[in-house]
Structures are given as C-alpha cells and as structure tokens.
Structure 1
Amino acid sequence: MSPETLLLLGLSALAVVAAVRWVGEKTGLPGAALLPVIGILYALLPGPNVELDPHIVLTFILPPLLYSAALDSSLLAIRNNLRIVIGLSVLLVLATALLVGAGFALFVTGATLAAGVAVGAAVAPPDPVAALAVGRKVGLPPRLITIIQGEGLLNDATALTMLNVAVAAAMGGEFSFPAAAGRFLLVAIGGTAVGVIVAFGVRLLRPIAKDALLANTVSLATPFVAYLAAEKVHVSGVLAVVVAGLIVGHHMPRSSTGAGRLQTSAVWHLIDFLLEGLVFLLIGQQLPEVLRGLRQYSGPTIAIALAVAVGVALLLRPVWLMLTQAMHLLLRRDDEGLGGREIAALSWAGTRGVISLAAVFTIPLTTDAGLPFPDRDLLLFCTFVVVLVTLVGQGLTFAPLVRLLKLRVNAVDEARMRNEARAAAVHAALDRLDDLDRDEPAERSEIDALRHRLQERLRRYHHRLDVLQNADSDELPVSERYEAGLRIRRLAIEAQREELLRRRDAGTLPDEALRRLERELDHEERVLPDRPA
C-alpha cells in the first residue's frame, strides 16, 4: 500500500470518526457501536482494506488507552470496591475461559480443550469504553462507574496471560490449570512490581518536569516505558501500565503544576478520542479475514461453536454477579453489596472490543510441529461474532436499560458535595490569608482585596448550597440568580475578547501578545460550568 493510499485511508477514517461523534451527540447513539458497523460496510466494498496487526495494537494502542483510563480512575474508589473488581477482572475472566474451553471440548467436533480455552480467554475481558461512555452520559452512579473502570483496567492482564498458557498447551503440551494459575500469579506480581517502579521513577522526574511540555513528554512516554520494561522481563505489561497509571494519577494533584495538568488532560482526551474511534472502526474491517477460512467447517459445527462462545459470554456474567452477591449476603460482609438493578446494569456492561480481536489474532498459524493451529479460523470467527454482538447489541441498548432501571446518580447530592468542597477550600484560603495578615502586615492591602474576592465567592457557594438544601427532588434546581451570573460573566469575557481582536486588527496589539491574553480569557472561561453544579 502506497503512502498516499495509507494517508487517504487515515484521513477518511478520521472523517468517519468525527462524523460518528457528531451523530452520537445529536442522537445519543454510542459511537463504539456505530463504528464497527461502518467498518463492516467498508470491508464489503471493493478497494484497499486495513488488516489488524495484533502486535501493533498490543504495543502501540493498548498501553496509552489503558494508561489514560488509569489516570482518570480513582485508586481509592477501586480499593473500596476491590472485592467486586477482582471478582470480575480475575475470577470471572478465568471462569469464562475455562467454561468456553470445556464447551468446545465437549460439543465442538474435533476441538481441543486448549483451543477452547484460548478463544475463551480472548472473549472473556470486557472493553468498558462503550459502557462507560453511555454510563457517564445517562448519569450512572459513581460506584458502578468505578467497578466498570476497575474491571476494564485489570481484566486484560488476566485474559492475555490465560491465552498465552492455552496457546502454549495447544502448540504441543497439555493444558494444566495449576500451571496456568502459577503463571498468572508470577506475571501479575511481576507486572505490579514494574508498574510501581515506573511510577516511582516518574515521581523522581518531578523536579525537572515542572514545565508543561516536559510534563506531557514524560506522561506520553510512561505507558510505553512501563509496557516495554515489563515485557522485557516476561511479566504483564498490561498490569504494569495500569498500576503505573493509577499511582501517578493518584499523586498528580500534588506532583504537577496547574498548567501541566490542563495540558496533559487535553492531550490524553484527544488521544483517547482518536485511538478509540480508529480501533472500533478497525474491528469491522476484519470481517473478510475472519470469514476466509470458514469453508472447511460445517454449518452445525459453526453454529455450536458460536452458541458456546456467545452463550457463555452473555450468560455467565449475570449468573456470576448473582452468585457472588448471594455469597456476600450469606457471609454478611461489612462492605456494601450490589442490588438487583445494579447487577442488571453491570451484567449488560460486558461489551467486548479490540483487545479480544487483537488477542485472538496473536494465535500463530502453525504449531511447533509445523501443523496448522487447531481450529484457528473458527476461533477468529467466534471471537469476531462475540465482539460484534456485545459491542453493537449491548452498546446500543445499554442506555435504555439504565433509564428503565432508573439507575441515576442523585444530581442534587453530587452538586451539594462539590459545593461543600468548594466552600471548604475557600475557608482554607481565608485561614491562610489570616496567617499572612499576621506575618506580613505590609501586604495588608493586597490581602484584603483577595479576601474580599474570596468572601464573595463563598457567598455564591453558600447561596447555591441553600438552593440545593431546599430542593424537593433529585434533579438540579435552576437558580435564576446563578444562571444570570454565569451569563453576565460569559458576556464580559466575550467583550474582552472582541476588544483584543479589534486592537490586533488595528495593528496596536501583536499576535503574540494577543495569544497570551487570549489564553488568560480561555482559562477564565473554562472554569465556568456548562450547567449549574
């Protein structure tokens, strides 16, 4: 493929991703469900197609996506829900792989347990991108968001380790659960250790990375350093990236500057948008590849294999959640369990994605003896169908399900919590000003001016809290005074921006000075909420 053709395909893909984003904003449909369908339609057309290279996905795409998700996650919240997260990301993944493997060995003619466990490991880990995008938009409670995030961060390491063990068994040995468990523990502990070391190294770089550009450079390099370092010592690169991201994200408020955080956040949001869009589009384009080798299988064999893979992927998750919740109630744990509506939502949040396809495409074409890998084409097809069914089917229906279950965060409680934190922060600033007033009386005029501004801000927060306290529903109340204040502040910023542009056009303000002053206004405008909060 020529560079010009590759560039044209890339630009076309970006245009499609942007268009789907626009359609999603207008219709509420998740882009993660629409893009694979568009990819399938493109794959059926004549012309060049892009085939998935699993090593590129696992080395260049997976680390930044996982690291960005880890930065946005809460280490404390995941720790508080660790029992559920570990159950879904480790135990459920292992159970899915083993159950699919047993189903293939028992019901699919000629299939081996190792080959079945391989496809089971590939389809076991949910990709939470679609579920999280929908969940945040419809106001899914923070605890469920944390569980989905935590599961998505940790399950890939479990699945890829299980896949490697199963492939090794299929290549010439026998599948052994004790060997698989031992291997998993080894790579998990090693990956965690590498992640901690990399996060500590990032903290050591803090004194020389105060500049926003340097901080971004370190941030962009961190996931690849963690992944490559772990893979070099043959432990879990995925887990190393996740652990590094969780630790760095937890310490970021103290270890980075405001300018660095703003720029880092913007950079990672753009990377997420582009990579996620491109990989979901890439999923659909793999249809010709997965169909290519199916002619050697009979219709009943394909149907049974699909029934096993899709059935286990869809049904085991709700059964697992109900069983673990029943066990939790039986043991009377102190931590809060899951309700029926929460179990229903989590059951339908198990959308699979590009990691499943990348994993199954790593299965080699031949064994060590030079023979074709057993049922490789059937494994590819089963994985593709599971990804398509869950990504499109569950992705499109997740939002209606959440609305039907009435699983929405209490917006008033959330806004009250934020405004109480804002008020507490202002009180801390006023206390610090009182200390400065005693220690530096010569600066009293500046201190008094800042104290007046802070007290005015505190009055706004207290007024908002009074409105929230008197709210008689879980919907955010609209305050005319609050809305008027936001509108006036936006109009004032707009007037300042127009005056700066008038001076630039008149030749009295250089463009460099304009950009600097515009950044000041942009930061002021950015802190204004889109809606009352």
Structure 2
Amino acid sequence: MEQVHHLEEILLYVLITVAVIVATRWVSRRTGLPSAALLTIVGIVYAFLPGENIPLNPELILTLVIPPLLYNAALDSSLLDIRHNLRIVISLSVLLVLATAMLVGVGFHLWVAGATLAAGVALGAAIAPPDPVAALAVGRRAGLPGNLITLIQGEGLLNDATALTILAVAIDSVDGVGFSFPVAIGRFAMSAAGGVVAGVIVAYAVRLLRNLREDPISANSISLATPFAAYLLAESVHVSGVLAVVVAGLIIGHNAPRHSTGASRLQTSAVWRLVDFVLEGFVFLLIGQQLPEVVDHLHEYETSTIVIAVSVSVGAVLLLRPFWLVVTQLLPSRMHARLGGSSDGREDKALDKREVVALSWAGTRGVISLAAIFTLHENVPDRDLLQFCAFVVVLVTLLGQGLTFAPLVRWLGLRANKADLARERNEARSAAVQAAIDRLDEIKQEEHDHIEDKAIESMRKQLTIRLERYRRRLDLIERSESDEVPVSPQYEAALVVRREVIDAQREELLRWRDAGNLTDEGLRVLERELDHEERLAERS
C-alpha cells in the first residue's frame, strides 16, 4: 500500500506539472512574456512552499532530457543554412565556449580566495553554452530575421559538446596534476570527431529502416528512439553524445522529405512538438526549484568571496560575448559567413551593429548549465560555491535577457522581411504545381491504357486553378512596397469561403454519425481529410 501511495503522489505531481506548464503557456501567449522565464519564476515560488522539491539529477537530465530536446531542435534546423554559416557558428559554439571557460577559470584562480584553475574552468565550461530555447521562442515571436535565427540555432546545437568535453577534462584535473588547455583542446577534437562519426552512423542506419518508416506508428517509434541510440552509441566509445545526437538530427531532418511518407512526417512532427513542449516546461520548472538547495550550503563562505565569485561568473558571461562578436566582425570579410552568403551569389558580409547587439543579448543559459555543474563530485573544492555561481548566471540570463530580448529586438527594428518569405514560398509552390502540370503532359503522351484522358484533364483543371491563385498572390507581393505580406480582399474572402465550406462539411458528417449513418471510424477518416484541407487553406 505504501508503494501504491507513493505512485499516486508521483502521478499527482505529474498532473500538476502539466497543468502549470499549460497555464503558463496560456499566460505567455496572452502577455507576450517568454514561457521559459515564467516557468522558472513559478519554480522558484514553488521551491519555497511547504513540501519537497524535485532534486536535479544530472545524469538523468543529460541522458534522458537533453538528447530528445537537442534532436528535435536539430530536426527543425537547416543543415544547409548552418553549413553556409559554419565559420561564425564554430566561432560561437566552439571558440567562444573555450574562451569563456578560460576567462572564468583564470578569474577564479586570481581573485577568488582558495579557488583552483581547474575548478574555475569547470564552472566556466558549465556556464559557457547558451540555451537557445528561450531566445528562439521570443525571437520568432518578435519576427527576428532568419539569419540570426540560424546563428542562434547553430550555436545552441553545437556548443554543448564543447562545454561538456572541457568540463570532463577539468573534473579529471581537479585532483590531478592540474588543468592543461592543450590537453583540453586535443580531447575536445577527438571527442567531437567521434561524435560526428557516431551521428552519421545512426543517421544512415535510420535511413536503412525507411521501409518500416512508411508506417506512421513505426516511424514515430524509430524517431523517438533515435536520439537515445545516437547518444548511447557515442558515450559507449567515450566521444561526444550530444554532438552525435545533433549530427543525426541534422542529417535525418535534411533527408526526411525523401525518405519518409507524408503521413509519417505529419504524425512525427506532432509527436515531437508535444515531447518538446512537455520536456521544456519540466526543465524550466526544475531550474527554479534548485534555488533553496544551492543557497543552503553557502554559510561557510564569506560574503566578499561569494560576491567576487558571482561577479566573475556573471561578468565573464555578459561581457565576453558582445566583445567576442564585435572583434570577430572586424575580421576580413572572407572570415564571415551569413545566411545565403554562398548560395545566392552575394558576397559574405559581417553582421551589422543591430544584429551584433541582438545576438549579444541572445545568450540565455539553461538546464544544461545546472546539470553540468551538478555532475561535480562532492570532494571537488568549492563545489557549493560553483553551483551557486552557475545558478545565478542561469537566473540572470534567463530572466534578465529572456524578459528583455523581445523589447530589445523591437527597439532595434530587426524584423524578418515577411514579404520576401511569402514570395519565396509562393514561387516554390508555383514551380511545384507547374512541374505537376508538365508531368500530366508526359503521362498523356505516354498513353497509359489504364489512365483516362478525363482523369488527366480533371487534375489539370485543379492544378491550373491553384497555379493561378499562387501567381495572383505573387503579383500582389511584387506590387507591394512594404515588408509585410499584402492583404488582398479577394484572397481573404476566398479563405473565409473555404473555411465556411469545410465547417459545413464537418457539421454534416457529425449529423450523419449521430444519426447512425456513419461509423465513428469512418468519421475520423473523413475528418482527417477535412483537417488537411483546412491546414492547406491556412497556409496558402
């Protein structure tokens, strides 16, 4: 009975957690405040209420939570865009992480009484990698330009591997002969190379299962297992598990249009959105709940020591990033890479001042910083102080930068050109429909006995109507001088009519079901058809 009661308590906590995550998302959508910051505040409030808090288990977080979050982020990223911006992505995700770890380590060694270089580097490695979740969520809502979105995504996907490798070297050095930067860099290179190989192996192993992935349920199962397979394979040979997950996700996401069915992609995408939503919500609630634990163990330190340690940590994180971006943008143009820089014939160019400011403020830290610093074993000198410093950095960036990032983006006037995005998509739609019409001509010339001319002409008529709609939309966009997508009264009226027609069909199907003329299974099949039609209408 005691075990059953314990399970009931766990179930109740899970239900409350989900309710809080959903409610916080609703508040976020209504107020425009980032849900990550709101959830962290809720976690802090909960931490001081009567009752037990959930302790942060670093092994659990790094093994079961981080891989699926990174994998889903990689699936939604662009392998081509990251490749076009590879130099600046590597600058932020590798070199800047190394520089941050070094700066914090040296600062601790020089100014914090009794602190060792290895302990300082361990802290620096933990707090160096930004968590892009909050910045991306706010940036997309604020209309951040696509090139900055790509840089934030690319940095967030790759920087964890750098940080965790440097952290492992620092931990090994705490009780050893001391920390060596050349050894750390060499170990990172080996770990990164092995992680890339492991990710490629898993990605191509998944491709071999494409026959199984034609079934949506099997595709979902394989997709959910993939990040854990990549992580475990890499960790089993002592290379970067997080990098293996990222590489596998980028390759699979890039190849998904060719190696999976439409039904599988729709269902898999929906499943990953749900997983991402729940895990992210849980993670940020968990961050807030750690405050009492990290504060309780500070009584043995003098106030001046705590202030100096926190100042070194926060100062290095907040000041080094903008300094790094400014310096790297002063390098020769051939050292820069920017979205579209190598794919459309334009010369590579540095980020402008507004973009540098926005990117400097997109450095929110998250749960991986806490999970990393919590991996320090208890005999590490100043472990409690290091954990407190990491927690303060996470709070300062997550709340300070997270809550002010959207106003900053709006103040800078950085907005994606929605008209250009709409033009690109409608041009691609027009090209795809024209290719379909050309294929109909080929089918007719091939004279298939089992295909009637009437079927070909019927399909041609549907495609022609769609092509004319896309071209009218393009004409409207071309005539507009605004960065916003122009609104056509005729186009909006057509959308209203299509929605009304779909609603009427749905209501009639429900009447048939309620009257016993249609089974529930039949209703679900026909509803899916209308759902896809409605989704197409919303995106056209």
- TM-score where L is the length of structure 2: 0.96
Aligned residue number for residue 56 of structure 1: 60
Match of 1:434 in 2: 441
Q: Which residue in 2 is equivalent to 1:386?
A: 393
Q: 2:311 pairs with 307, 314, 318, which one?
A: 307
Superposed counterparts of 1:344-383, under 5 Å: 344-366=357-379, 373-383=380-390
Amino acid at match of 2:246: V
| Residues 342-364 of structure 1 deviation map (CA, whole Å, 9 limit, x = unaligned) | 10010000000000000000001
Aligned with 2:202: secondary structure?
Answer: helix
Deviations 1:27-83 (A, max 9, x none): 100001111111011101111211110001000000000000000000000000001
What is the CA distance between 1:336 and its match in structure 2? Answer: 2.2
Q: Secondary structure at the match of 1:125?
A: coil
Map Cα deviations across residues 229-282 of structure 1 (whole Å, 9 max, x no partner). Answer: 100000000000000000000000000000000001000000110000110010
Distance 1:454 1:332 in 2: 43
> What code does the residue aligned with 2:110 have?
L
- Which secondary structure state, in structure 2, belongs to the residue aligned with residue 491 of structure 1? helix
SS of residue in 2 equivalent to 1:311: helix
Q: Which residue of 1 aligns with 2:171?
A: 167
How much has 1:528 moved relative to structure 2? 2.0
Once the two structures are TM-superposed, the CA of residue 329 in structure 1 deviates from its matched residue by 4.5
Q: Does 1:467 align with 2:476?
A: yes
- Aligned-partner Cα distance in 2 for 1:250–1:406: 32
CA distance in 2, matches of 1:331, 1:155: 20
Partner of 1:370: none
- What residue number does 2:351 align with? 338
| Alignment of structure 1 residues 143-222 onto 2, 5 Å | 143-222=147-226
User: Quick one: structure 1 residues 507 and 387, their matched pair in 2 at CA, closer, same or farther if it must change by over 3 Å?
Assistant: same
Match of residue 87, structure 1, among 78, 87, 91: 91
C-alpha deviations, 1:385-434, integer Å up to 9, x for none?
A: 00000001100000000001111011111111111111011110000000
Alpha-carbon distance in 1 for matches of 2:98, 2:399? 24
Aligned length: 525
Aligned-partner Cα distance in 2 for 1:295–1:196: 48
What's the Cα RMSD here? 1.2
Which of 424, 432, 442 aligns to 1:425? It is 432
In structure 2, C-alpha distance between the alignment counterparts of 1:476 and 1:34, rounded to whole Å = 32
Following the alignment from structure 2 to structure 1, what is the Cα–Cα distance between the partners of residues 402 and 335? 34
Alpha carbons of structure 1 residues 309 and 332: separation in structure 2 relative to 1, 3 Å:
closer
Moved over 4 A (4+): 329-334
State the shift of 1:335 in Å. Answer: 2.0
CA distance in 2, matches of 1:508, 1:331: 68
Please, what TM-score do these two structures have when normalized by structure 1? 0.97
Give the CA deviation at 1:508. 1.2
Give 1:217 shift: 0.8
Q: Residues 214-253 of structure 1: matches in 2 within 5 Å?
A: 214-253=218-257
> Shift of residue 440 of structure 1?
2.5
Look up the match of 1:78: 82
Q: Once the two structures are superposed, what CA deviation does each residue of 1:152-172 show, in whole Å capped at 9, x if it has no partner?
A: 000000000000100110122
> Percent sequence identity over matched residues?
65
1:441 is displaced (CA, Å) by 5.7
List gaps (5 residues or longer) in structure 1. 367-372
Letter of the aligned partner of 2:280 in structure 1? E
Q: CA deviation at 1:328?
A: 3.3
SS at match of 1:261: helix
CA distance in 2, matches of 1:34, 1:213: 34
**Structure 2 regions of 5+ residues with no counterpart?**
338-346
Q: Is the 8 A contact 2:333 2:349 kept in 1?
A: no
Over 3 Å counting, the alpha-carbon distance change for 1:231 and 1:502 in structure 2 is same
**Cα deviation, residue 331, structure 1:** 6.5
Structure 2 counterpart of 1:529: 538
- Of the three residues 103, 106, 109, the one matched with 2:107 is 103
For residues 468 and 253 of structure 1, what CA distance do their matches in structure 2 show? 28
2:66 is paired with a residue whose SS is: helix
Aligned AA for 1:423?
A: S
> Do residues 451 (structure 1) and 460 (structure 2) align?
yes
Offset, 1:332: 8.4
Amino acid at match of 1:514: L
Aligned partner of 1:404 in structure 2 is 411
Change (3 A) 1:238 1:84: same
Alpha-carbon distance in 1 for matches of 2:417, 2:214: 38
SS of corresponding position for 1:527: helix
Query: Which string of whole-angstrom CA distances, capped at 9 and with x for unpartnered residues, describes residues 90-121 of structure 1?
Result: 00000000000000000000000000000000
Q: Is the 8 A contact 2:171 2:376 kept in 1?
A: yes
Find out whether 1:498 has 2:498 as its counterpart. Answer: no
* Residue-by-residue CA offset, 1:462-510 (whole Å, 9 max, x unaligned): 1111111111211221111111111111111111110111011111111
In the alignment, structure 1 residue 516 sits paired with structure 2 residue 530: no
